[in-house]
């Protein structure tokens, strides 16, 4: 099978192109000579299957950052039939050097100049034909965002592959040992084939940045935008959640219960009260999770997150971090795992470790499900967005406190360099694909963790036989009693304690666990929790859930990225201890004030 290596600098649209050309067939795999997993996909091109491997974005093939070494090691240890290079049409004066470096490897290459729409708007003109002649490789203009130029690119890939001979790793190692006058060749190509105005002007970007990057108002505007985002999520998501709840309840009452009426009591209890109630309660929050990621996709793809990093860099520097650390924390709002992997852009190990220490304190989407459920059950529609926003502020505060306390042990002097892209609005297709990706991720985790989790919770709350389900006489009650001296001072009862234990596996299990523990789902569960808990207990539980140990996937990623079990143990001990102290301080203070 022929293999294509997809290469380019960061933020050139390489991943957008990869996602579009591979669709849903992408997978994570490992290759010889590479210590981390890479995305790959098998695609039918012409009449044969071709493997496309998406390599990390790099600035220099001959650099020594982690990502640059990953790319080099991949090329040195794997046979390649073709290199597909993607560059930003607006930044060829800074990016063409990478294409020239890859040309020296004597690989069959195709150069795709992405963001052709922006280049036209900025007045950048590229003579692709002349550039192709000078580089000795096909050059095509395209727009990955809008899908322009894809057919021509696909046809050219087919043509190049038809005549390509694979380049063996031994030959690649010889070529990578030297560097021939790349800078001089780059200057000559730019001089002959590219015209760049002295100033790339974007009036809209400049006008917006005067406000968004204002030294006084920039940060308040950012937090205001995030607050409005949460308001919109609740405003649009609550009716959708109600509809899903209704559909799930109707299916249970009119289809599932009659179907299992003749089944043994233990089997119907396991399937209905255990698996269906648990998974169904979690599934009801899928619409809100989709909305969250749709709105976050808009904030991220517009270029606003880069500006948030710029605004926060001075503050983060006081804590031993930088603006990139802030972006990783924001990425952690979606999922801690890719945020931890994103720290690879940092060359300083100390900076990476400090950033990885604070990322698990981000309010990830799995925790978001728990908080949306509890706030909807115990707080009014007017108060719920404020409660959720306060948890995000606590998340930031916990991360900043952690950085301040550990920065003397993890000192970094790596400079922070950031390029602010122009403002862009994502297409509807991009937003829909982002939402579908999160739904697919949720379904994958549901089959992997949630079903097993709710089954175990059902067993703990229904055995030994002959006792009242969910009572203190069950195995779950015994575990809750054992944890009572630790969790009672923070207002967490034995039912919530069981949910926390399973939340260590995956936070999505917490809601399903509560449905199984109380033997209810949907509106019945929310009403019961509102009657059995007051807002102080609920908020203390959410504080503990926010800060205490992350899920198993995050722990495994911490180990893989840090290569240190001692660092993982430090991270877990700190987060659990901090969670207890924060919840204790809030709960005892609120009770002392008479709440």
Kindly give the confidence (pLDDT) of every residue in the chain, 595 residues in length, as a single tens digit, with 9 standing for 90 and above.
889 999 998 878 887 788 778 775 556 566 666 656 688 888 888 788 889 998 888 888 876 666 777 888 888 888 889 999 999 998 888 889 899 988 888 889 999 999 888 888 778 889 999 999 999 999 999 988 777 888 888 888 888 888 877 777 777 777 666 543 554 676 778 778 887 665 545 566 677 777 777 778 877 887 788 778 767 776 787 788 788 878 888 888 888 888 888 888 788 877 887 778 767 766 776 776 677 667 767 777 777 777 777 777 777 888 888 877 887 887 787 778 767 877 876 777 888 999 999 999 998 877 888 898 889 888 888 888 889 889 989 999 999 999 999 998 888 776 666 666 677 777 777 777 766 776 676 566 556 666 776 777 778 777 887 777 766 778 877 887 888 899 999 999 888 888 888 777 777 778 777 877 777 766 788 888 888 889 999 999 999 999 998 877 788 888 878 888 999 999 999 999 999 999 999 999 999 998 8
Q: Which of 326, 507, 290, 496 is nearest to 403 (CA)?
A: 326
Buried b (16+ CB within 10 A) or exposed e, 163-186: ebeebebeebeebbeeeeebeebb
Closest to 420 (Cα-Cα) out of 275, 213, 175, 585: 213
SS3 state at 553: helix
DSSP 420: -
Architecture of domain 2-195: 3-Layer(aba) Sandwich (3.40)
Q: CA–CA separation, 454 vs 447, rounded Å?
A: 11
Q: Report helix angle 92-103 to 182-193, nearest 10.
A: 120
* C-beta separation of 5 from 138 below 8 A: no
Residues of the chain with CATH 3.40.50.300: 2-195
Give the single-character DSSP code of 447. I
CA distance 106 to 412: 39
* Cross-strand partners of 7: 85
**371, 386 in Cβ contact below 8 A?**
no
Asked if residue 407 has a cis previous peptide bond (ω within 30° of 0), the answer is no
3-state SS class at 3: strand
**Beta carbons within 10 angstroms of residue 485's beta carbon:** 8
What gap in Å lies between CA 137 and CA 129, rounded to an integer? 10
What's the CA gap between 471 and 463, in Å, rounded? 10
| Residue 84 β-bridge partners | 6, 110
The CA distance from 545 to 358, in Å, is 15
């Amino acid at each position: 099978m022929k293999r294509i290596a997809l290469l380019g600098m960061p933020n050139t649209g390489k991943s957008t192109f990869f996602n579009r050309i591979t669709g849903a067939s992408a997978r994570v795999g490992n290759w010889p000579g590479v210590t981390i997993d890479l995305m790959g996909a098998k695609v039918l091109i012409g009449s044969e299957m071709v493997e496309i491997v998406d390599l990390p974005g790099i600035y220099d093939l001959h650099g020594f950052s982690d990502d640059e070494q990953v790319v080099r090691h991949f090329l040195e240890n794997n046979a390649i039939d073709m290199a597909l290079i993607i560059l930003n049409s607006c930044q060829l004066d800074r990016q063409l050097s990478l294409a020239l470096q890859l040309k020296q490897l004597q690989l069959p290459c195709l150069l795709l100049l992405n963001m052709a729409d922006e280049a036209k708007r900025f007045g950048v003109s590229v003579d692709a034909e002349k550039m192709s002649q000078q580089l000795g490789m096909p050059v095509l203009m395209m727009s990955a965002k809008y899908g322009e130029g894809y057919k021509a690119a696909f046809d050219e890939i087919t043509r190049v592959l038809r005549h390509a001979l694979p380049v063996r790793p031994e030959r690649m190692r010889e070529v990578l040992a030297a560097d021939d006058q790349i800078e001089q060749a780059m200057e000559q190509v730019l001089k002959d084939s590219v015209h760049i105005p002295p100033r790339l002007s974007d009036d809209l970007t400049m006008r917006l940045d005067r406000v968004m990057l204002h030294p006084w108002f920039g940060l308040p505007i950012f937090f205001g935008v995030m607050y409005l985002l949460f308001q919109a999520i609740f405003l649009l998501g609550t009716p959708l959640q109600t509809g899903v709840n209704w559909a799930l309840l109707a299916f249970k009452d009119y289809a599932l219960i009659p179907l299992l009426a003749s089944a043994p009591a233990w089997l119907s209890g396991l399937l209905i009260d255990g698996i269906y109630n648990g998974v169904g309660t979690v599934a009801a929050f899928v619409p809100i999770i989709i909305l969250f990621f749709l709105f976050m996709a808009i904030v991220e793809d517009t270029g606003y997150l880069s500006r948030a990093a710029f605004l926060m860099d001075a503050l983060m520097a006081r804590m031993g971090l930088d603006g990139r650390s802030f972006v990783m924390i924001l990425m952690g709002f979606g999922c801690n795992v890719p945020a931890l992997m994103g720290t690879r852009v940092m060359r300083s190990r100390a900076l990476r470790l400090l950033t990885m220490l604070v990322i698990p304190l981000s309010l990830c989407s799995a925790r978001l499900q728990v908080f949306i459920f509890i706030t909807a059950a115990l707080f009014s529609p007017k108060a719920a967005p404020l409660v959720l926003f306060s948890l995000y502020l606590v998340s930031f505060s916990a991360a900043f406190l952690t950085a301040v306390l550990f920065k003397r042990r993890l000192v970094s002097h790596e400079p922070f360099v950031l390029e602010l892209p122009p403002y862009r609005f994502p297409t509807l297709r991009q937003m829909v694909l982002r939402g579908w990706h999160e739904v697919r991720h949720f379904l994958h985790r549901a089959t992997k963790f949630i079903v097993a989790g709710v089954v175990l919770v059902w067993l703990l709350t229904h055995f030994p036989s002959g006792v009242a389900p969910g009572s203190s006489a069950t195995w779950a009650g015994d575990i809750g009693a054992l944890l009572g001296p630790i969790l009672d001072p923070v207002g967490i009862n034995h039912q919530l304690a069981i949910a926390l234990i399973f939340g260590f596996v995956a936070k999505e299990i917490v809601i399903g666990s509560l449905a199984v523990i109380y033997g209810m789902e949907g509106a019945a569960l929310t009403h019961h929790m509102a009657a059995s808990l007051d807002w102080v207990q609920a908020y203390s539980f959410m504080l503990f859930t926010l800060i205490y140990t992350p899920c198993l996937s995050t722990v495994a990623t911490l180990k893989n990225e840090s290569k240190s079990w001692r660092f993982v143990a430090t991270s877990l001990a700190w987060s659990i201890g901090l969670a207890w102290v924060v919840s204790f301080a809030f709960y005892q203070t609120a009770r002392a004030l008479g709440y």
